[in-house]
Structure 1
Amino acid sequence: MKKDIILKAENISKQYRLGQVGTGTLSHDINRWWYKIRGKENPYLKIGETNDRSTKGNSDYVWALQDINFEVERGEVLGIIGKNGAGKSTLLKILSKVTAPTTGSIKSRGRIASLLEVGTGFNGEMTGRENIFLNGAILGMTKKEIASKLDEIIEFSGCERYIDTPVKRYSSGMTVRLAFAVAAFLEPEILVIDEVLAVGDAEFQKKAIGKMKDISKGQGRTVLFVSHNMAAVKSLCTRGIVLEHGKMTFEGNIDEAITQYLINEKSDERLYNSNEYKGENCKISDTKIVNADALITNGIDLILSTTFTSVINKSYSITISIFRESVLAFVATSFYKDEQIRCPGEYKIEFVIPKYLLNPGFHNIDVSIVDETGNFEQYLYVNEILSFNVIDDNLRRGNKYNKGWGGIVSPILQINWIKNN
């Protein structure tokens, strides 16, 4: 079956000169011009460093994007994820034709509507109603088309009371509400959305995500979505690409893309942590997963071990909280009846996580120590003491069809079959 490609990026790269506005010095401009009239390549494309914002470079040029290639089908929702400074917004500006790529080309079919920054394209002196018509005109709509959608736009935005008030008096959340409503209801073939939804409240984010699902599934239009909210990306997107330092490091299934992003985000991924963490009259150290190497499958019982030391005679409980892709999967704790953690001394404590409980994905573990004598005072809390990735062993039913398992955890339960006579 032939793919219906609506957007195609070919060898997209974007180079910037640091520390100056414009193309650079006069000598550089003359050099570029001299190479161009001789039919040669821009000499400054051969220099420049990777866009790593955390390190100091030696070149005045930096590649915000390098050799980006991907295709988007009609009706697809593509998630573009990566750390701050990875090149996501630069890519969206190029796709929206706000800025031109240094090399490469964008091929698209249909009208593109963009929500790149709060208030982009809005005139603060004009009212909300006037800005709806202004933005619609920018998107290529006729006045009649905009008027036919006006009531729906105003109702969806929730700004009806202020619709005839100048936008400069709107809060950032109100501005985003109105801008999103305009872009969503004026029916572009491709809707490009940057992190702007983070400004809206929870009710509007839920409403906006529902509208984007309707746009892609019900109306067959295409959405490109950038967000650091992995829950929103997971619920909305069908496919994802991961950017790191201006390069595309992954393209594929959205669950795998999120896992790859989280691994990049947690570059200190570890199965062993030798650090000591001290609380009031106690400490933990040498926390590790003892029965796995760098590759963890969900088909084994994971044994989490930590060393606990107490200097006083007190009853403690130890609790672990396991998060899958930033969402709490479960909490497990010891109980006050564990009399062995009462006398002063050093103890080795092990938690056994049953096989197939954890779904594939990136996981973090938090540890806390609590007084179990009655007041439940917390003596110590360690955030993200361990990080690890779980992959599927492909032995469970259904996995051979590449459907996987939904949810945060997927325990195997005892099921009793009782035949009725």
Structure 2
Amino acid sequence: MDDMIFIDNVSKEYRLGAIGGATLKGDLQSWVAKVRHKEDPNLKIGETAYKKNERFLALEDVSFSVKPGEALGIIGHNGAGKSTLLKLISRVTAPSKGDIYLNGRVASMLEVGTGFHPELTGRENVYLNGAILGMSKNEIDRKFDEIVEFSEIPQFIDTPVKRYSSGMYVKLAFSVAAHLDSEIMIMDEVLAVGDVAFQKKSLGKMGDAANKQNRTVLYVSHNMGTVKRLCSKCAVLDKGHLIYLGDVDTAIGLYAGMRDRSMGTYFDLTNGKRCDDTHPVGGAKLVDLTLVGKEDNNFKNGEMMRLEIGVDAEKTVENMEVMMIVFYEDDTRVGTTFSKKITIPAGKRKVTVDFDTSVIPEGMYFTELSINERKENGSTVRHDSVEEAFSFVIKGEEETKQWKSAVWGHTMYPLLDIIDVQ
């Protein structure tokens, strides 16, 4: 068999709710309550019991193959089955139906610090984790210095890992997995925790594994930029089904179109979900929003985004500002921007603002939009706020910067440029 990985009609089914509590005592309590038609004492407040024998198909009839030296990206929304697929390939769990054939040794990193014991030192965990991955003691001895050097934490190698930050965890764990002489590398969104420089170095290491060492790489990520740079092919999963396998750009475009908020240029805000801290002071309400001069919601990195925001003001309100909070596709808060203070006359008005997209790395985003009144004492009264006002996609050029999901933190962007209020 020439394929490094061959997946043949694989399905994974889970039985929900009937068994599998934290303890045998808890399972017995739940069973007795069910027989007596009583409320389950182990359910959390607001939680409902699953129906008897209810089953969930995490994956259904998935088939594909990966050849030596290929780097396959696997993308899809939360719950699509990505992590389940990697666990099956890593032999963490077995498929309910179908077969998986692997032609080589597997190095998998499915979660930060998988196989680490918190009470052991970094040095001890290198040997423990290496053994779990299938490395011999002689192999670990031979590569130990290289592993520690790559992890960038040599001064902490004899410190218990329970004192490590999440970034230090992932550096050491990735370094161990990356230095295993395996034919197959499996990575599940683990690089989102490391710092920017380490992510770049790790992606280079994975790229070298595929291109120079002819190793097969499976990479799951919500960061489309890293998928595009690293992977030669891409698979798209949706609700447990493989809906596409092939060109990376085509796969990313398909993934972008799967989100309900994608592709629109006009957004009705009247029925949008309002934020809990909105204060109905009888001043102004958000009505609608239009992406001016666009046929869809896709922008090139650096392209100016012009927003025409419909506002209905019951009375003239001074010292108003437009606030926009940007969230990444995975709901990570990315950054915030404000406009200067403006006066909104009574009636239905259009507030036009410009936003410079050069501060946004490539990816898919949605926004929370608010209009606030700034008081003389510096306090703010929120007149109206819509949680998911509109979405947009940034398509970066070669070597563009990337959003590092939850690593960069909350960024304050330059002011929105007010163009007109009429």
TM-score where L is the length of structure 2 = 0.65
Gaps of 5+ in 1: 23-52, 392-403, 409-421
**More deviation, 314-323/12-21:** 314-323
Gaps of 5+ in 2: 22-46, 402-422
Which of 52, 69, 82 is the equivalent residue of 1:75? Answer: 69
Kept in 1, the 8 Å contact 2:225–2:362? The answer is no
Larger of the two Rg values belongs to structure? 1
Inter-partner Cα distance in structure 1 for 2:376 and 2:248: 45
Q: Which residue matches 1:364? A: 366
Note the alpha carbon deviations across 1:243-295, whole angstroms, 9 max, x for none.
23322233344444345445545569864333376666632333144899997
Note the alpha carbon deviations across 1:371-413, whole angstroms, 9 max, x for none.
699999765554431236799xxxxxxxxxxxx95559xxxxx
Change (3 A) 1:195 1:364: closer
Change (3 A) 1:193 1:269: same
Change (3 A) 1:110 1:382: same
Which of 6, 9, 19 is the equivalent residue of 1:8? Answer: 6
Inter-partner Cα distance in structure 2 for 1:328 and 1:235: 24
Change (3 A) 1:99 1:348: same
Inter-partner Cα distance in structure 2 for 1:328 and 1:116: 24
Change (3 A) 1:371 1:172: closer
Amino acid corresponding to residue 271 of structure 2 in structure 1: N
Identity percentage of aligned residues:
41
Note the alpha carbon deviations across 1:191-230, whole angstroms, 9 max, x for none.
1112333444455434433332333334332221223444
Inter-partner Cα distance in structure 1 for 2:162 and 2:339: 56
Inter-partner Cα distance in structure 1 for 2:149 and 2:307: 54
Kept in 1, the 8 Å contact 2:374–2:380? The answer is no
Note the alpha carbon deviations across 1:349-370, whole angstroms, 9 max, x for none.
456999xxx9997553553446
Q: Which residue matches 2:37? A: none
CA shift for structure 1 position 6: 2.3
Q: How many residues align?
A: 357
1:309 aligns with 2:307: no
**More deviation, 162-171/320-329:** 320-329
Change (3 A) 1:325 1:297: same
Note the alpha carbon deviations across 1:52-90, whole angstroms, 9 max, x for none.
x99966643221211112222333332223333332222
Amino acid corresponding to residue 104 of structure 2 in structure 1: G
CA shift for structure 1 position 9: 1.4
Change (3 A) 1:171 1:305: closer
Change (3 A) 1:284 1:123: closer
Amino acid corresponding to residue 109 of structure 1 in structure 2: N
Amino acid corresponding to residue 344 of structure 1 in structure 2: A
Q: Which residue matches 1:25? A: none
CA shift for structure 1 position 314: 2.1
Q: Which residue matches 2:35? A: none
Q: Which residue matches 2:350? A: 348
Q: Which residue matches 1:97? A: 91
Inter-partner Cα distance in structure 2 for 1:124 and 1:189: 29
Q: Secondary structure at the match of 1:307?
A: strand
**More deviation, 155-164/103-112:** 155-164
Change (3 A) 1:60 1:329: closer
Inter-partner Cα distance in structure 2 for 1:390 and 1:58: 45
Which of 270, 274, 296 is the equivalent residue of 2:270? Answer: 274
CA shift for structure 1 position 306: 1.8
Q: Secondary structure at the match of 1:384?
A: coil
Kept in 2, the 8 Å contact 1:190–1:221? The answer is yes
Kept in 2, the 8 Å contact 1:259–1:361? The answer is no
Kept in 1, the 8 Å contact 2:299–2:393? The answer is no
Q: Which residue matches 1:37? A: none
Change (3 A) 1:333 1:158: closer
Q: Which residue matches 2:231? A: 237
TM-score where L is the length of structure 1 = 0.65
Inter-partner Cα distance in structure 2 for 1:79 and 1:94: 16
